[in-house]
C-alpha cells in the first residue's frame, strides 16, 4: 500500500510530526531551501554558463526570469525525496506558513514533479491536534506568496550584484550592498554622527531631603520660584538659590493623589521577542531565533513524545486563538485566583497589513504547561526563553494593575521673602494585576525608572517638615545612545524596513561584512561604514532612503495579497537603477571617495598627506604614493599612547636579517614589529600581548591576545598549534574560590569561572 509523503524543512520538525501522523505517512525534511539563484557560474550546466545573464542568475531582458539551480549541498536531499515520492500517491507540503515556506514548497513541486495529488497544509504550532487538523484541511500552494518571495529574492539579487561591484571599484574589494542591510548601516552611521556632533548642555538641580515629625525621610526636587518654573543653567545660579534657602521653613503646600491603571504589553511578535530577549536575557537576535526554532519544532518531554512548545516564531500578528484565550483564563484562575482574571479576553489589534497577519502571536502551545514543570527537559537557554514567552502571554490576559500616584508640593519660605516650591512624587501598588507575573523592560532608562516603585511617607497639607540637607547636582545633557541589536530591530520595524525573518540575518551580515562592530553590546560603525554610506546617500539616494525601502516592503506585501504583480514592480525599479549604476561608474572618482585632504606634510618627501581608507580603517598616506610609500596611523589619542608605549618597550629590538631598528606598526591582526628598512627588508615579528595566565590545558604556554581574520579579539595558547586552547573572553589571574578553575571577565564588573560557572562581582 502506497504511503503519503509529507515534506517539512527540518529533521527536528520531521521527527516530531512523524510521531503524530503514524505509519501511513513518511515525513521527510528538505533542509530548508532546495533551489536558489546561482552563487557562481560553476553551479550551472555548460549550456547555462553561456547565457548572457549566467553570472547574475536573472534574465533582466525577459521579465526577470530567474535561473534557479539546485546547490550541491541539496542534491543528495533531492535524490532521497525523488526516491520516496515514487512510492507515494499523495504529497503534502508542510513547510512554514510564510513567504519563504510557500516558496520552498513551490520549488519542491517544480523539482519533484509528483504524479499524484499535491496538497498544502499549514499550522501555527507543532502539536498533534494542529497537525491532524491541518491534514484534514489542505489547500493549494499560494502563488501570490511565492511571487512575493521571488520578487524580494530577485530584487535583492539585482541590488547586491549590480551595486556591490561599483563599491569594489570605488572603495575596496569584498564590500557588499543590500536593499535592507545598507539601510540598517545608514541608521547606525546616522546615530553615530549625532553622537559625535552632540554638544552637551550644562544644567543644575537642587534636591531637598526632608523629614517628617515621625523622622521619615524622603526626597524632593526644586521646580518653581513662586509660580514660575525655575531653570538653573550654571553653578552661580544654583549658589544664589542655596543662599536664598538658608534658614527657610518647609511645609506641605498641596497633595495630589490619583489612581493610575496600567495595561500589560501585547503578546510577542518576532521583533518584540527579539527586543525583550535582548534586554531581559542578554540574547543576540540570532540566538533568540535559534532557541525559539528549537522550542517551535519540538522537544521531548518526560513521559511523552516530542512536541512543539511554542507557536510559529516568525510573525507580525498579535492575535491569540480562542483556545489560547480560554486556557489563559483557566490557568490564571488556578494560579492566582479570580481577581486576576478578566471577564472577557483582552484583544490586541495588529498594525501590520502583511500576509503573516494570518498567524498568531508567539505563545506557548499549552499555557497549562508551566515553565517549572518542563524545566528538567530544557537546557538553560530554552527554559529562560520559554519562561519569558509564557509570562508575557499570561500577563496579556490578566487584570490591569492599579497604582496610587502621589504628587506632593512643598513650600520653602525663605528669610528673604521668596517662596520656592519643591516636588516629591511616588507611587504605591494598590493591586498588582498583571505585574504579579510580568513587567516589560525598556531601553530608555527614564521609562525603566517609571516602572520602579517609589514610596512616600504619609503626609498632610500644611504639615511642617524639617530639612535634612540640600543637594545641588550638576547635569549635562546626554547624546542619543548607540543602537543595540534590540533597539535597531525596534527602529527598523517602526520604519517599516524588512520583515520578521530578515532582522537576524541582516544584523549578522553587516557585522560579518565589517561595517559594524559590537562594543559592550552596542553597535558601532567602522570607517568603511561611513564611507560606503556617504557614497550611497550622495549617489544612490533611494537605496538607503528609509521611506523608499519601506514603500518597497509595502509593495511586496501587496504582491503577497494579490493586489500587485511582481514583474512590473521590478521593471519600475530596475530600469532607472541600472542607468544610474552606469552613469555613476563613469562619474565617481575613487580618490574622491577614499581620500581626504589634510594640512599635514609628508616628513620624507614634503608632499601633502591624505587620509586614505584601508582594510583596517583610515590612515595617513603620502599623496606622492607609489613613489613615496610613507604612511602612518591616523591620529588617535588612545592608539597613539599604546603605540608609544610599545615602541618604548621594544626600543632595543633589531632586525635579525639586516640589523636595522624594528618599529611598531599596526596591521589587520593588531600591532606587530617591522623592519625600519621596509620594503627593502620585509622582516616582521609578532608582538605577544600576555594575559598573565598560564594555559590550563598544556600548563606550559601563556594565554595571549589574538585576533581572528576579521579582527575580532580572542585569547589562545602561545603554544598553538600544538595546544589549541582558546576562549573569547579575557582571562583573569585570580583562580575561582570555589573550584580553583580559570575565571574570565564575563561582563562589566563581573568575573565568571569557566569550569563551575560561579560569578563574582569586581
DSSP letters along 471-491, please? EEEEEE--PPPPPBHHHHHHH
Mean of pLDDT values over 618-637: 80
* Weakest-pLDDT range from 113-117, 514-518, 558-562, 743-747: 743-747
Q: Hey, how many other C-beta atoms are within 10 angstroms of the C-beta on 52?
A: 9
Tell me the H-state helices in 42-127: 46-49, 72-86, 99-112
3-state secondary structure of 402: strand
Pairwise pLDDT comparison (520 vs 485), residue with the higher score: 485
- 242-251, 299-308, 748-757 — which one is most confidently predicted on average? 242-251
* Size (the chain), residues: 762
Instruction: Decide if 628 contacts 604 (C-beta within 8 A).
Output: yes
Q: Does position 218 have pLDDT exceeding 60, yes or no?
A: yes
CB atoms within 10 A of CB 280: 19
Q: pLDDT-based confidence at 352, cuts 50/70/90?
A: low
Q: Please report where in the chains the cell 531601553 appears, as a residue.
A: 443
**What average pLDDT does this structure show over 504-525?**
90
**What pLDDT is attached to residue 355?**
41
* pLDDT, average across residues 523-548: 93
Q: Give the burial string for 291-319 (b: 16+ CB within 10 Å, else e).
A: bbbbbbbbbebeeeebbbbbbbbbbbbbb
Of 491, 595, 489, 588, the closest CA to residue 540 belongs to 588
Instruction: Provide the pLDDT for residue 414.
Output: 96
At 363 the pLDDT is: 96
**CA–CA separation, 165 and 161 (whole Å):** 7
371 close to 387: Cβ distance less than 8 angstroms: yes
Alpha-carbon distance 464 to 252, whole Å?
A: 7
Report residue 448's pLDDT band, with 50, 70 and 90 as the boundaries. Answer: very low
Q: Is the pLDDT of residue 240 over 70?
A: yes
Task: Give residue 416's pLDDT.
Answer: 92
C-alpha–C-alpha distance, residues 273 and 285, integer Å? 9
- DSSP labels for 46-60? HHHHTSTTTTTTEET
pLDDT tens digits for range 665-675: 876 666 788 89
Residue 415: per-residue pLDDT: 95
Greater pLDDT, 116 or 535: 535
Least confident of 35-39, 563-567, 659-663: 659-663
Number of alpha carbons in the 13 Å side-chain half-sphere of residue 298: 22
Query: Which tops the pLDDT comparison, 663 or 365?
Result: 365
CA distance 572 to 577: 9
Once rounded to an integer, what is the mean pLDDT over residues 58-67? 95
CA nearest neighbour of 611 among 626, 621, 602: 621
Average pLDDT of 168-188?
Answer: 93
What's the average model confidence in pLDDT over 256-279? 94
- State the catalytic residues: 312
Question: Is the confidence at residue 451, as pLDDT, over 60?
Answer: no
- Residue 689 — pLDDT band, cuts 50, 70, 90? confident
pLDDT confidence of 713, banded at 50, 70, 90? Answer: confident
**Average pLDDT value over all residues in the chain:** 89
Does residue 652 contact residue 661 with C-beta atoms inside 8 Å?
no
The pLDDT > 90 percentage for the chain reads: 64
502-527: average pLDDT:
90
Does the pLDDT of residue 598 top 50, yes or no? Answer: yes
Residue 639 has pLDDT above 70, yes or no: no
- pLDDT, one tens digit per residue, over 307-328 is 999 999 988 889 999 999 999 9
Amino acid at each position: 500500500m502506497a504511503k503519503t509523503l509529507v515534506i517539512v524543512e527540518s529533521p527536528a520538525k520531521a521527527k516530531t510530526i512523524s510521531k503524530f501522523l503514524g505509519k501511513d505517512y513518511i515525513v521527510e525534511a528538505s533542509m530548508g531551501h532546495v533551489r536558489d539563484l546561482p552563487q557562481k557560474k560553476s553551479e550551472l550546466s555548460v549550456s547555462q554558463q553561456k547565457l548572457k545573464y549566467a553570472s547574475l542568475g536573472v534574465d533582466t531582458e525577459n521579465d526577470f526570469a530567474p535561473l534557479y539551480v539546485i546547490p550541491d549541498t541539496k542534491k543528495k536531499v533531492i535524490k532521497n525525496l525523488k526516491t520516496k515520492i515514487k512510492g507515494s500517491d499523495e504529497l503534502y507540503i508542510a513547510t512554514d506558513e510564510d513567504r519563504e515556506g510557500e516558496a520552498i514548497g513551490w520549488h519542491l513541486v517544480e523539482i519533484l514533479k509528483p504524479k499524484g495529488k499535491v496538497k498544502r497544509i499549514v499550522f501555527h504550532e507543532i502539536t498533534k491536534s494542529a497537525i491532524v487538523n491541518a491534514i484534514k484541511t489542505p489547500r493549494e500552494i499560494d502563488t501570490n506568496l511565492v511571487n512575493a518571495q521571488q520578487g524580494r529574492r530577485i530584487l535583492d539579487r539585482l541590488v547586491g550584484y549590480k551595486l556591490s561591484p561599483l563599491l569594489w571599484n570605488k572603495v575596496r574589494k569584498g564590500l557588499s550592498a543590500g536593499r535592507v542591510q545598507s539601510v540598517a548601516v545608514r541608521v547606525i552611521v546616522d546615530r553615530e554622527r549625532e553622537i559625535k556632533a552632540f554638544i552637551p548642555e550644562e544644567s543644575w538641580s537642587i534636591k531637598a531631603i526632608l523629614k517628617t515629625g515621625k523622622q521619615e525621610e524622603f526626597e524632593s526636587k526644586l521646580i518653581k520660584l513662586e509660580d514660575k518654573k525655575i531653570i538653573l543653567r550654571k553653578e552661580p545660579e544654583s549658589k544664589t538659590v542655596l543662599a536664598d534657602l538658608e534658614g527657610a521653613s518647609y511645609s506641605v503646600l498641596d497633595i495630589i493623589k490619583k489612581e493610575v491603571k496600567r495595561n500589560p504589553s501585547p503578546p510577542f511578535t518576532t521583533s518584540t521577542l527579539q527586543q525583550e530577549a535582548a534586554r531581559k536575557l542578554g540574547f543576540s537576535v540570532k540566538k533568540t531565533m535559534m532557541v525559539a526554532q528549537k522550542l517551535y519544532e519540538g522537544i521531548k518531554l518526560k513521559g511523552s513524545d516530542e512536541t512543539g512548545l511554542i507557536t510559529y516564531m516568525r510573525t507580525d500578528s498579535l492575535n491569540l486563538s480562542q483556545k489560547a484565550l480560554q486556557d489563559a483564563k483557566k490557568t490564571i484562575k488556578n494560579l492566582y485566583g479570580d481577581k486576576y482574571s478578566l471577564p472577557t479576553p483582552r484583544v490586541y489589534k495588529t498594525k501590520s497589513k502583511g500576509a503573516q497577519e494570518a498567524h498568531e502571536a508567539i505563545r506557548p502551545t499549552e499555557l497549562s504547561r508551566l515553565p517549572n514543570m518542563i524545566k528538567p527537559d530544557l537546557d538553560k537557554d530554552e527554559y529562560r526563553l520559554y519562561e519569558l514567552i509564557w509570562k508575557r502571554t499570561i500577563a496579556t490576559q490578566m487584570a490591569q494593575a492599579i497604582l496610587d500616584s502621589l504628587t506632593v508640593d512643598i513650600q520653602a519660605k525663605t528669610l528673604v521673602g521668596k517662596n520656592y516650591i519643591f516636588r516629591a512624587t511616588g507611587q504605591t501598588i494598590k493591586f498588582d494585576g498583571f505585574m504579579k507575573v510580568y513587567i516589560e523592560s525598556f531601553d530608555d532608562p527614564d521609562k525603566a525608572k517609571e516602572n520602579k516603585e517609589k514610596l512616600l511617607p504619609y503626609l498632610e497639607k500644611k504639615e511642617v517638615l524639617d530639612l535634612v540637607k540640600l543637594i545641588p547636582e550638576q547635569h549635562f545633557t546626554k547624546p542619543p545612545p548607540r543602537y543595540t541589536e534590540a533597539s535597531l530591530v525596534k527602529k527598523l520595524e517602526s520604519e517599516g524596513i524588512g520583515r520578521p525573518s530578515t532582522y537576524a540575518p541582516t544584523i549578522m551580515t553587516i557585522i560579518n561584512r565589517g561595517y559594524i562592530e559590537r562594543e559592550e553590546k552596542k553597535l558601532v560603525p567602522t570607517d568603511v561604514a561611513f564611507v560606503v554610506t556617504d557614497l550611497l546617500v550622495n549617489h544612490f539616494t533611494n537605496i538607503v532612503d528609509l521611506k523608499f525601502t519601506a514603500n518597497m516592503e509595502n509593495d511586496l506585501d501587496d504582491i503577497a495579497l494579490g493586489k500587485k504583480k511582481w514583474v512590473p514592480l521590478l521593471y519600475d525599479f530596475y530600469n532607472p537603477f541600472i542607468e544610474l549604476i552606469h552613469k555613476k561608474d563613469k562619474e565617481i572618482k575613487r580618490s574622491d571617495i577614499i581620500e581626504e585632504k589634510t594640512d599635514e606634510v609628508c616628513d620624507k618627501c614634503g608632499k601633502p598627506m591624505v587620509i586614505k581608507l584601508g582594510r583596517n580603517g583610515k590612515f595617513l598616506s603620502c599623496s606622492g604614493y607609489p613613489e613615496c610609500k610613507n604612511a602612518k596611523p591616523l591620529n588617535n589619542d588612545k592608539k597613539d599612547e599604546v603605540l608609544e608605549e610599545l615602541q618604548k618597550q621594544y626600543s632595543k629590538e633589531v632586525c635579525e636579517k639586516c640589523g636595522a631598528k624594528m618599529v611598531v606598526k599596526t596591521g589587520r591582526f593588531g600591532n606587530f614589529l617591522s623592519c625600519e628598512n621596509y620594503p627593502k627588508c620585509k622582516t616582521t615579528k609578532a608582538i605577544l600581548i600576555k594575559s598573565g595566565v598560564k594555559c590550563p590545558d598544556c600548563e606550559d604556554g601563556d594565554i595571549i591576545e589574538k585576533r581572528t581574520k576579521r579582527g575580532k579579539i580572542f585569547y589562545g595558547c602561545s603554544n598553538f598549534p600544538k595546544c589549541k586552547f582558546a576562549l573569547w573572553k579575557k582571562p583573569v589571574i585570580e583562580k575561582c574560590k570555589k573550584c580553583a578553575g580559570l575565571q574570565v571577565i564575563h561582563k562589566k564588573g563581573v568575573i565568571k569561572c569557566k569550569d563551575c560557572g560561579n560569578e563574582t562581582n569586581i
